[in-house]
A and B are shown apart, each in its own frame.
Chain A
Amino acid sequence: MKNQLSRRNFLHVGMGVVGGSALLTGQSLAEKNKKGVILNPGMGHQKDSTCPCHLQNVGKGSTAYKDGEMNPMAFLTTFDYGKVKTLPSGDVEREYTIIAQDKEIEIAPGVQYPAWTYNGYVPGPTLRCMEGDRLKINFINTSHMPHTIHFHGIHPAGMDGVFEQVKTGGKFTYEFTADPFGLFLYHCHTMPLKKHIEKGLYGTFIVDPKTPRPKAKELVMVLNGFDTDFDGENEFYTVNGYSNYFTDNPINIKVGELVRIYLVNMTEFDLLNSFHLHGNMFHLYRTGTNLREHEITDTVMLCQGERCIIEFSYKYPGMYMFHAHQSEFAELGWMGFFNVLPEVA
């Protein structure tokens, strides 16, 4: 770990000196000092420059992130549709497997967090199905703590993941019918609830309507925070688990392309989180349980556990920021960029 850390820092210094100066005008700290280790080159550092220099290292690449099987970019578009089987009745059955495991994960450059995870990453896998599907979720607990999976949506009491505590080494299969369509979430419901959620046991659960939504570039964004020193306040805010990932790695989209974001707020401790889009307006579908749009806006506020679907397309190419409109969250890692590329005919 130590080696990787110093190697990454070495890269940071390199980026600060070479990448930073090539990208922008103005002198960075790295250039000025040319010694020591530079953390977050360019971050927060206003420069007399024409580019979006609030973060001058936009698009510097994913040097900071140690990719495991999942990274925040891949997470955007990874959906778990389960093992599909058609039942004699004609219904579709989907079988998923979720394993609770303790794992230390990196949640910001150089900062580790001892997480409790579903399938080894935070947030957990995005489960996706269609309304009416018969779902079987095999839950295996390899963590040192008892856990459950509590799904939002309509299902019998015994499948609610509240009373059936699954002990270390234990198993449980949740079986219910996907109902209704919309954007849901799942999380551990073992007490103390706050602890089990803040440690990372949550994920997105999408139930598609039988009448499909229009074709779009679909992205999942889970808003969360990490309390790294366990004082009941978040030190870092992220989208999909890594602070400032999408400022370092902007999301490429095209002019005119319809983008749909499944937005889930799993932030613990802070009552609210929000999503604000620059240079554009979006169509808002609260909880995604209705195909009629709720309103057209550029900022949406989400309570703990609240979610919504938003749709937009960009008129002009360029780099556009998206972030929490709680400036504090934005400056503690909840920021990102869409890199809108010109449409190629």
Chain B
Amino acid sequence: MSNDRVAEESDMLEVRRGGLFRSKLTLFLTALIPIVVLAGMVYWFATKGASLIETPAVPVEKLDFERIILHPAEIIAYVRNTGPTDITIGQVTVNEALWEASVYPSNAIPRLGSATITIPFHWVEGEPYEITAITSTGIKFTGSVEIAKETPKPGWRYFGIFAMLGIYVGVIPVYLGFLWFPFLRRVSKKWMNFFLSLTAGLLIFLGADALHEAFEVAERTPSVFQGVALITIGTLLSFLVLVIVGRRTMGSQASQKGDFYVRLTLTYMIALGIGLHNLGEGLAIGSAYVLGEVALGAFLVIGFAIHNITEGFGIVAPVASGDKPRNIHFLILGLVAGAPAILGTWIGGFIYSDIWATLFFAIGAGAIFQVVYEIIKLMSRESEAGIGNLTNFTGLVLGLLIMYVTGLFVVI
């Protein structure tokens, strides 16, 4: 017992005598040791240890076709080396015929490097094409064009077409949904909660849909970019960032700022979440248009209008009870939720990349789930049961069903 005390005291003394610095140094060193050892191992393997591990006779090469665009009498393929080794493209074929090709900047592509293959070719509209790069080791990598169609060059005409598409599928339906606002203001509190649950149902469906899209696109991205990790990061980050934003704006100060303020903020957050989702939808539409994979008829526009009108409903539901927001808010809310669809079609049409699409969809999903969380919080503040009572449960299920059924009209 006394020994312990002595030791304790000497420790205290040491701390007083500049031991504080020493213990900090020790702490720093212990953190550093693994890194130093790792660096040593990396150095050793990089310099002489490589012979320890036998490399396969045929190197595992990988080349991804990121995008193929078609201009009159010209095929341009963007490729990326996503394998573990540098590769060299030796030959290029179009539909199994050796062809002239220019590879820029070089046919020797370093790991994760990219190149542009330009091929003079009189392609025929509506026919499928396979562009194959044969590497110096004789391995083939092929990118396909399902249906040949001239790729829109960024220009005012396509800018306009895509903007119109975005307005039709994103902006107009959201504003149409706002027209339910007068109706929502007249319903009783019980029914209001029903419609809020319905909104939660709509949003859960949208979130799941965004996640599904994200996984679907992630499957196409080169494995080196770790699509699933991108989704996890994107979804979690957007969810958590919005939780913090929510706390800052609605949480602690809610009592001071009042119920109206909380509801309006929630409305804006729903609009933002839906906006991110619509950005993803725009991406899908734009890129599908470019790939010639979309039958851009009235049917698609009608489908999206029916599907997305529910989004407008969901946005205005939280502000339906209490004070009525000024009209300018509706204008802005509609733009926040709908306009990203226009941006999405532009991005999808002109500079589409699977990696960005994955991330956009994931961010959209995270944002939507956060909004669902806020709505449920709002509802449990208003009624003890939250979504636990039968009316609210029915609302939520109905929301899911509405989305499912209207989703049948949207086929890209």
Contacts and interface: CB of A to CB of B under 8 A. Distances in A.
Given A6-B108, A37-B103, A43 B98 contact: yes
Interface string A304-315: 000000000000
A39 B108 contact: no
Given A36-B102, A112-B138, A333-B98, A46 B90 contact: no
Given A40-B98, A226-B138, A228-B138, A111 B90 contact: yes
A231 B139 CA distance: 10
A78 to B, nearest CB: 26
B76 to A, nearest CB: 11
A33 B116 CA distance: 12
Contacts of B134: 108, 111, 228, 235
Interface residues of B, number: 35
B101 A39 contact: yes
Contacts of A44: 94, 97-100, 121
A319 interface: no
Given A110-B88, A111-B134, A226-B138, A40 B99 contact: yes
A42 B100 contact: yes
B383 to A, nearest CB: 64
Contacts of A113: 138
Interface in B65-111: 88-94, 96-108
A155 B388 CA distance: 92
A11 interface: no
A328 B96 contact: yes
Contact of B139 (A41, A229, A333): A229
Contacts of B92: 39-40
Nearest to B139: A229
B137 interface: yes
A113 B99 CA distance: 20
Contacts of A332: 93, 96-98
A29 interface: yes
B96 A331 contact: yes
A52 interface: no
Contact of B101 (A40, A235, A236, A328): A40
Residue from A2, A6, A37, A226 with most neighbouring chain B CB atoms (10 Å): A37
A23 interface: no
A240 interface: no
Interface residues of A, number: 40
Contacts of A114: 57-58
Contact of B98 (A5, A229, A244): A244
Contact of B138 (A9, A42, A229): A229
A29 B120 contact: yes
A312 B66 CA distance: 51
Contact of B102 (A2, A29, A109, A110): A29
A238 B177 CA distance: 66
Contacts of A73: none
B125 to A, nearest CB: 18
- Which 7 residue pairs of A and B lie closest in terms of their CB atoms, listed nearest first? A228-B138, A110-B90, A36-B104, A331-B97, A111-B90, A44-B99, A37-B107
Given A38-B100, A331-B96, A331-B98, 15 more contacts: A5-B108, A9-B107, A36-B106, A37-B106, A39-B91, A40-B101, A43-B99, A108-B91, A109-B90, A109-B91, A110-B89, A110-B91, A228-B137, A235-B138, A328-B96
21 contacts: A6-B108, A29-B102, A35-B102, A35-B104, A36-B107, A37-B102, A40-B101, A41-B100, A43-B98, A43-B99, A43-B100, A44-B99, A107-B138, A110-B107, A111-B91, A111-B135, A228-B139, A235-B134, A244-B98, A331-B96, A331-B98
